[in-house]
Amino acid sequence: MKLRALLVLATLLAGAPVVLAQGAGAPTGRCQLQFRAEHPLNSYQLPSGQRNNFLGGNVVATCERQGLRLRADSVESYGDESRFVFIGHVDYRDPRLKLKSDLLTYFQRDERVLATQHVVATLPSGSTLTGPQVEFFRAVPGVRQQQSATAIGRPTINLVERDSAGRPQPPVKITANTVYLVSDSIVSAVGQVVVVRPELTAVGDSLYADGGIGLLRMMRQPRITGTKGRPFTLVGETIDLHTRQRKLERVLAKNDAQAHSEDLDLKSDTIDLRVSADLLQQATVWGKSRAHATSPTQDMVADSINVIMPAQHVRELHAVRNAIAEAMPDTTKFHTKEKDRLTGDTIVAHFDSVPPKDTTSKPKIRLLVATGNATSLQHLAPRDTSLCLPAINYVTGRQITVHFDSAQVSTVKVTNKEAAEGVNLEPDSTAEGARCHPRVVAGAAAADSASRVPPAGRPLPSRPPTNPPRAATPPAVVPKRP
């Protein structure tokens, strides 16, 4: 044993490689480590005939056939376990991975590497992983076809993306409690997952990403927040982010999906957002639960809704099949909790264009066009300005166009008049609660109403009723054909 130790020591001092006794290397691609070190080798023979060996001082381990190279301050080798422990300033390199850590254990039988404490791993693509612990499974013929890795302790991955010309793009940052990697493109993560892209931030309980097909899927209470241009928020049971040539082009939320922005709220089973130049350009909403869209002035429901919003500014909204649009009427001259309503097979809403540089103004609705079995129900100021209840105008036609001025209805036009019908209902002035307190009647009408004397036995109420009742008797009907 002493003669063997002296021979090993002489070889180390001479700078020649030393192969620790671990059995002959097989031609299957398994690594046969060779070591160099500055300090003598301590070696102990085990009952099995294997040896435990200890090296120190700038240790270098190589496996030339596999292109593997390891550096560390010291190394411990345990023969019965085929296990090597590299300690201090560990630098691991092979064709598929570069890794630095304070401590690294190489399990030769499993072709497995366990790095702990201040781990920084770099993949061939330039993507990096940092965290307290990474377990790396080498791709070895006869053992496993693909390399893989598992990182615990809430690691962070910076995925490097390149455009069609090969230029690197801002990295995608992924943080989670546990991260799994397969090869160089597939990632899954679980536990408080956070994904940060240049144009959005996504959070959820789990994530699956395949860079090869450009898919990133967020699962279990995912939430995506747009951070570029006008902000938006998207939720659903699952959310898929699709990229082409490393640029985000589509976001798909499924099952109880909701999207919220300053201009529009969308809700349905499925929401499909299209992105270009890192800005939202179009949104499509559909599902069994029907599609719902709410803007500052309108509520719309249909089987499906398509929103055209170049550079995240709403321009048009198309509600298709059994469409309904509702809005609160101008109640400065009357009181009602009922909404104006427009229906049709299809409703198209047109909004005022907003200059792209204006990031504060919200687009105002300009036009509503209902086509196919269209109906319009409007609440209007009554002719008798002393009355509190609204007049009602109801028309039907093949197409109805509603024009807006300052977000309020200005005119209603029915085309194809041969198919148009309608009625105009004025409130009954004798109905209980029909008359308003003079203070609620604006301008000259208020003064005129204040001069009226209430009928005997029917004093004016001290304040306007919050929910005035409908007339007990049918109101007068004045048919009109627009």
DSSP line for 334-381: S--S--EEEEEEEEEEEE----TT--SPPPPEEEEEEEEEEEEEEEE-
In this prediction, residue 164 has a pLDDT band, given cuts at 50, 70 and 90, of low
The two structure tokens encoding residue 232: 């938006």
DSSP bridge pairs for 307:
283, 317
Fold of 154-294: lipopolysaccharide transport protein A fold (2.60.450)
DSSP state at residue 445? H
Give the Cβ contact number of residue 103 at 10 Å.
17
- 114 pLDDT above the threshold of 60: yes
Q: Rounded to 5, what percent of the chain is helix, strand, coil?
A: 5, 55, 35
Helix, strand, or coil here: 446?
helix
The two structure tokens encoding residue 480: 């009109």
pLDDT of residue 80: 92
- 361 pLDDT above the threshold of 70: no
Name which of 95-104, 186-195, 464-473 the model is least confident about. Answer: 464-473
Using CA atoms, how far apart are residues 378 and 388, in angstroms rounded to an integer? Answer: 16
Contact (Cβ atoms closer than 8 angstroms) between residue 45 and residue 53: no
DSSP state at residue 82? T
Domain ranges across the chain: 1-124+134-139, 154-294, 315-482
| 439: amino acid identity, one letter | R
Residues 6+ apart with CB under 8 A from 10: none
pLDDT of residue 420: 60
pLDDT of residue 33: 85
DSSP bridge pairs for 97:
94
pLDDT of residue 466: 38
- 6 pLDDT above the threshold of 80: no
Using CA atoms, how far apart are residues 479 and 3, in angstroms rounded to an integer? Answer: 119
Q: φ and ψ at 151, to 5 degrees?
A: -120, 130
- 200 pLDDT above the threshold of 70: yes
Q: Would 1-124+134-139 and 154-294 be classified into the same CATH topology?
A: yes
pLDDT of residue 240: 92
| pLDDT mean over 76-93 | 93
Q: Note the CATH number of domain 1-124+134-139.
A: 2.60.450.10
The two structure tokens encoding residue 409: 């209805």
pLDDT of residue 78: 93
Using CA atoms, how far apart are residues 82 and 330, in angstroms rounded to an integer? Answer: 83
- 99 pLDDT above the threshold of 60: yes
pLDDT of residue 312: 76
Contact (Cβ atoms closer than 8 angstroms) between residue 204 and residue 220: yes
Using CA atoms, how far apart are residues 64 and 59, in angstroms rounded to an integer? Answer: 16
pLDDT of residue 366: 86
- 388 pLDDT above the threshold of 50: yes
pLDDT of residue 353: 64
| 34: amino acid identity, one letter | Q
Name which of 45-54, 82-91, 207-216 the model is least confident about. Answer: 207-216
In this prediction, residue 15 has a pLDDT band, given cuts at 50, 70 and 90, of very low
Which residue did the predictor score with more confidence, 89 or 39? 89
- 85 pLDDT above the threshold of 80: yes
Instruction: Using the Cα atoms of residue 246, residue 252, residue 254 and residue 257 in order, give the sign of their dihedral.
Output: positive
Residue with tokens 């007339």: 471
Using CA atoms, how far apart are residues 371 and 161, in angstroms rounded to an integer? Answer: 46
Residues 6+ apart with CB under 8 A from 109: 82
For the chain, how big is the Rg over CA atoms in Å?
37
Name which of 74-88, 223-237, 379-393, 410-424 the model is least confident about. Answer: 410-424
CA angle 149, 152, 153 (to 5 degrees): 155
- 238 pLDDT above the threshold of 80: yes
| pLDDT mean over 24-44 | 70
- 221 pLDDT above the threshold of 50: yes
| pLDDT mean over 194-206 | 88
| pLDDT mean over 151-170 | 80
| pLDDT mean over 208-212 | 82
| pLDDT mean over 438-465 | 38
Residues 6+ apart with CB under 8 A from 335: 388, 389, 390, 436, 440, 464, 465, 466, 467, 468
- 482 pLDDT above the threshold of 90: no
pLDDT above 90: percentage of residues in the chain:
31
